[in-house]
């Protein structure tokens, strides 16, 4: 098998029925085949449709559609079936399977949880990974990456801790902020793996020794492990641990940390010319997402102090949960005693409705009067406002992590140089950064004059014929002027890894119809339909309609569905 053999066809398989990314690329060269897997994940806590139907209010069910909900398969089972399918698809006659290149775009649950939830398959010796491609942000020996990851790691801990605190304090279901926070923390993990005891199956450590690497990793793992449910609970594999597990699988010599602006020529490693568009090196770009307009993100907010504050609040809340529930069952030993701002003489403990832990005759009349005013109207109380800070941080963190997405563009052989674009979940800053650099190109044979020819991002985007829709078609992960509008090949098709019914019941959508995540975002989707002539495959799409749209044009890639609709394949002939 060699890359120099002519390429006959490229097949992109999108796994369906998940709110999450899992794409298998196969490049056929005669009898041989090269394979690439891009991500394997599903959103956390997606239950099967029937369970959801029992829990959701009637108007939500009605708005989303009963049949649509019923069709949803539990995330854990579905992703397991997908992992099985990947293995059996790639399995040779010797019973062994090989992924030539594994691409992990970014450390979000809906992109990597499959590796943890079907850990036995990925860690099995019957499956080998040739190369692992990750973004430079995952490189533990890169100074910028270390500080960026430490920062994001701190934020993540604070958010996960806050979500835990809120959950155990029973604030769930009482505030929109909390619902939003919990649904966001679903991107972050930790991943609960049933039936795995902590002792029996320790968290993965890097198997190889690399200078500088150990420190950074230990820190990340310590951060992550501090959040564990304790020895009694089920083993939770954090997303960071999942990344480590994959690095171990590939082996250090086989990891490629991709740099923006890099062009990877066709080789034995991978037979398609690959442009690395993102993530940007500039931290400003990474931090550029659409800022939340909330009251809580107001002028005074800043990141480090925000992280510290959420962390301190969450610790304090966990401590209170311990007191309420007895023992350190909730927070574990990792929680240090949170301090109070005022000295003991000023302490006046307060629990809602109970004279604040003071005996009735100990409370002054003045305090009782102020307290009566406070408790007179439940709508005006502020007990859950602390969550808003955590929510704002969670939103920011979520966007920042999306912006660390590895963005790859693969060039198909042939005169047109058609491009397959996989942007991960890149948000605004990442998209905008693609134009910050030029992309070197080899001169055509015989042309000695233009050795240093450079391509601009416009040159690349205008050749895009396949677009993996960013972030399940949310509003802020497909740039308009600097993105979609530049994809002018006239022969664009798109794949959107989305199950609408699941998106619609996330966050506040759990309780109120029409308040879940807006995926797809209508304005984007309208434009995308125009640009593709309706040729979009979606994770929960209707195969008949999708097929019709593709067949309406004879320049469409061929469409194939699995018999059980587990996946859909687009085949580009070369």
Partner 1 sequence: VADQTYPVPVIRRLRVYAFDPQSSTSIASAGFNVATIQLPWEQWNEAALEPGPINEYLEIIDVDPVSGQFYEPVDLNHPSVLARDGLDPSEGDPRFHQQMVFAVAMKTIRSFERALGRRVFWSGRWDQKKRKYISVSRLRVYPHGLREANAYYSRDKKALLFGYFPSATKDSSASWVFTALSHDIIAHETTHAILDGLHRRYAEATSVDSLAFHEAFSDIVALLSHFTLGEALQAHIQREGGNLEVRGLMSGLARQFGNARGMKGPLREAINSRLDEDETNITLLASTTKPHDRGAILVAAIFDAFLTIYKQRTADLMRIGNVGVNAADRRDLSPDLATRLAREAAKSADHVLRMCIRALDYLPPVDVRFGEFLRAIITADTDLIPNDPYHYRLAIIEAFRRRGILPEGTLSLAPDSLCWEPPESDLALDAKLEPLDLDWHPAREKAEDIAEINRALMHRWLIEDEDQESDSDWQKACGVVFRDDLLPPEWNTELKSVLRWPPDPLNPGTRSRAKVEVHSVRTTRRTGPDGQELYQLIVEVTQRRRGFLSAERQRAAEVANQADREDFLFRGGATLIFDLRRKKLKYAIRKSIASSARLEEQRMFLEANPQFRLRSHYDDDSLGSVAMDEPFAFAHRGY
| Site residues (CB under 8 A) for partner 1, limited to 51-90 | none
Q: Which of 342, 390, 392, 362 is nearest to 169 (CA)?
A: 390
- Contact with partner 1 (CB under 8 A): which of 341, 353, 444, 446? 341
CA–chain centroid gap for 320, Å, is 31
How far is the C-alpha of 364 from the C-alpha of 508, rounded, in Å?
40
CA distance 192 to 198: 11
Q: Is 300 in the site for partner 1 (CB under 8 A)?
A: yes
The nearer residue to partner 1, 126 or 369, going by C-beta atoms, is 369
Piece of the chain touching partner 1 by CB under 8 A; list 241-249, 280-288, 316-324, 432-440: 316-324
Is position 382 an interface residue for partner 1 (rule: CB under 8 A)?
A: yes
Q: Which of 385, 447, 458, 564 binds partner 1 (CB under 8 A)?
A: 385
Among residues 422, 384, 20, the alpha carbon closest in space to that of 172 is found at 384
Q: Measured from the CB atom, is 34 or 313 closer to partner 1? A: 313
User: What string marks each residue from 398 to 417 as x (binds partner 1 by CB under 8 A) or -?
Assistant: xx------------------
Residue closer to partner 1 by CB (options 91, 527) is 527
Give the closest residue to 106 by CA, choosing from 393, 426, 421. 426
Q: Name which of 4 and 343 has its Cβ closer to partner 1.
A: 343
Q: Provide the strand spans (E) within 449-550.
A: 454-455, 464-468, 493-496, 536-538
3-state secondary structure 527-555: HHHHHHCCCEEECCCCHHHHHHHHHCCCC
Residue 336 contacts partner 1 per CB under 8 A: no
Write out the DSSP string of 244-267.
HHHHHHH-GGGEEEE-TT-EE---
Show contacts with partner 1 in window 450-479 (CB under 8 A).
474-476
Q: Least distance (Å) from partner 1 to the CB of residue 435?
A: 18
Pick from 160, 317, 421, 464 the residue near partner 1 by CB under 8 A: 317
User: Coil, helix or strand for 496?
Assistant: strand
Q: Candidates 99-107, 124-132, 309-317, 430-438 — which segment interacts with partner 1 by CB under 8 A?
A: 309-317
Which is nearest to 274 in space by CA: 104, 422, 127? Answer: 422
Q: Please enumerate in sequence order all residues whose Cβ is within 8 A of that of 1, keeping only pairs 6 or more positions apart, or say none.
A: 29, 32, 33, 34
Q: How far apart are CA 364 and CA 345, in angstroms?
A: 14
CA angle 478, 482, 484 (to 5 degrees): 50
CA angle (427 as vertex; 422, 428 as ends), nearest 5: 120
Which listed residue (309, 328, 562, 574) binds partner 1 by CB under 8 A? 309
Cα–Cα–Cα angle for 374, 377, 383, nearest 5°?
A: 60
Token representation of residue 535: 């040729």
Which of 26, 371, 463, 510 contacts partner 1 by CB under 8 A?
A: 371
Using CB under 8 A, pick the residue from 89, 254, 266, 374 that binds partner 1. 374
- Closer CB to partner 1, 136 or 431, in the complex: 431
Q: Which of 296, 463, 510, 535 lies at the binding interface for partner 1 (CB under 8 A)?
A: 296
- For 534, residues 6+ apart whose C-beta sits below 8 A from its C-beta are 549, 552
Q: Is 98 in the site for partner 1 (CB under 8 A)?
A: no
Residue 236 binds partner 1 (CB under 8 A): no
The correct pick among 58, 210, 231, 312 for binding partner 1 (CB under 8 A) is 312
Q: Does 380 bind partner 1 (CB under 8 A)?
A: yes
Smaller CB distance to partner 1: residue 313 or 556? 313
Q: Any bridge partners for residue 412, and if so which?
A: none
Binding-site residue total for partner 1 (CB under 8 A)?
Answer: 72
**One-letter-per-residue 3-state SS of 280-310:** CCCHHHHCCCCCCCCHHHCCCCCHHHHHHHH
Q: How far is the CB of 312 from partner 1 (least distance, A)?
A: 6
Q: Which stretch binds partner 1 (CB under 8 A): 50-58, 141-149, 202-210, 334-342?
A: 334-342
Q: For residue 167, state whether it binds partner 1 (rule: CB under 8 A).
A: no
| Beta carbon of residue 368, minimum distance to partner 1 (angstroms, whole number) | 10
Two tokens, residue 320: 């209170």
Taking the complex as a whole, how short is the minimal distance between the CB of residue 7 and partner 1, in angstroms? 38
- Distance CA(416)–CA(105), nearest Å, equals 27
- Considering only residues 498-557, where is the footprint of partner 1 by CB under 8 A? 503, 506-509, 514-519, 521, 523
């Amino acid at each position: 098998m060699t890359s120099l053999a002519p390429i006959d066809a490229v097949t992109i398989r999108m796994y369906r029925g998940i709110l999450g990314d899992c794409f298998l690329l196969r490049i056929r060269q005669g009898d041989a085949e090269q394979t690439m897997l891009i991500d394997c994940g599903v959103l956390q806590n997606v239950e099967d449709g029937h369970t959801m139907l029992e829990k959701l209010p009637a108007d939500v069910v009605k708005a989303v559609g009963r049949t649509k909900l019923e069709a949803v398969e539990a995330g854990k089972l579905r992703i397991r079936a997908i992992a099985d399918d990947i293995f059996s698809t790639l399995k040779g006659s010797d019973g062994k399977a090989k992924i030539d290149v594994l691409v992990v775009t970014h450390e979000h649950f809906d992109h990597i949880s499959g590796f943890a939830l079907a850990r036995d398959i990925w860690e099995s010796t019957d499956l080998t990974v040739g190369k692992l491609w990750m973004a430079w942000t995952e490189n533990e020996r890169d100074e910028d990456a270390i500080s960026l990851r430490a920062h994001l790691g701190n934020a993540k801990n604070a958010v996960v801790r806050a979500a835990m605190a809120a959950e155990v304090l029973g604030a769930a279901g009482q505030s929109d902020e909390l619902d939003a926070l919990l649904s966001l923390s679903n991107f972050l993990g930790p991943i609960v793996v049933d039936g795995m005891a902590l002792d029996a199956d320790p968290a993965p450590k890097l198997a190889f020794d690399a200078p500088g690497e150990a420190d950074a990793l230990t820190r990340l793992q310590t951060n992550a492990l501090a959040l564990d449910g304790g020895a009694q609970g089920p083993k939770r594999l954090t997303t960071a641990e999942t990344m480590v597990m994959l690095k171990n699988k590939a082996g250090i010599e086989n990891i490629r940390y991709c740099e923006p602006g890099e062009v990877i020529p066709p080789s034995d490693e991978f037979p398609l010319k690959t442009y690395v568009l993102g993530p940007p090196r500039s931290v400003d770009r990474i931090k550029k997402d659409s800022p939340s307009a909330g009251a809580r993100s107001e002028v005074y907010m800043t990141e480090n102090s925000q992280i510290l504050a959420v962390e301190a609040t969450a610790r304090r809340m966990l401590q209170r949960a311990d007191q309420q529930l007895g023992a350190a069952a909730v927070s574990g030993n990792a929680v240090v005693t949170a301090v109070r701002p005022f000295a003991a003489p000023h302490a006046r403990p307060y629990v809602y409705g109970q004279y604040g832990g003071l005996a009735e005759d100990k409370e002054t009349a003045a305090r009782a009067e102020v307290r009566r005013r406070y408790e007179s109207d439940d709508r005006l109380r502020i007990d859950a406002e602390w969550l808003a800070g955590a929510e704002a941080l969670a939103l920011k963190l979520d966007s920042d992590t999306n912006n660390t997405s590895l963005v790859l563009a693969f060039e198909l052989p042939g005169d047109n140089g058609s491009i397959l674009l996989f942007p991960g979940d890149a948000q605004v800053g990442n998209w905008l950064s693609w134009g910050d650099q030029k992309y070197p190109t080899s001169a055509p044979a015989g042309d000695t004059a233009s050795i240093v020819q450079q391509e601009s991002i416009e040159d690349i985007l205008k050749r895009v014929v396949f677009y993996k829709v960013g972030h399940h078609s949310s509003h802020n992960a497909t740039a308009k002027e600097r993105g979609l509008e530049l994809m002018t090949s006239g022969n664009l098709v798109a794949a959107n890894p989305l199950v609408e019914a699941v998106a619609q019941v996330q966050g506040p959508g759990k309780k109120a119809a029409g308040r879940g995540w807006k995926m797809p975002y209508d304005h984007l989707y309208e434009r995308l339909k125009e640009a593709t002539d309706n040729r979009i495959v979606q994770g929960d799409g209707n195969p008949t309609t999708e097929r019709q749209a593709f067949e309406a044009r004879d320049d469409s890639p061929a469409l194939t569905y699995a018999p059980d609709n587990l996946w859909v394949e687009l085949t580009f002939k070369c």
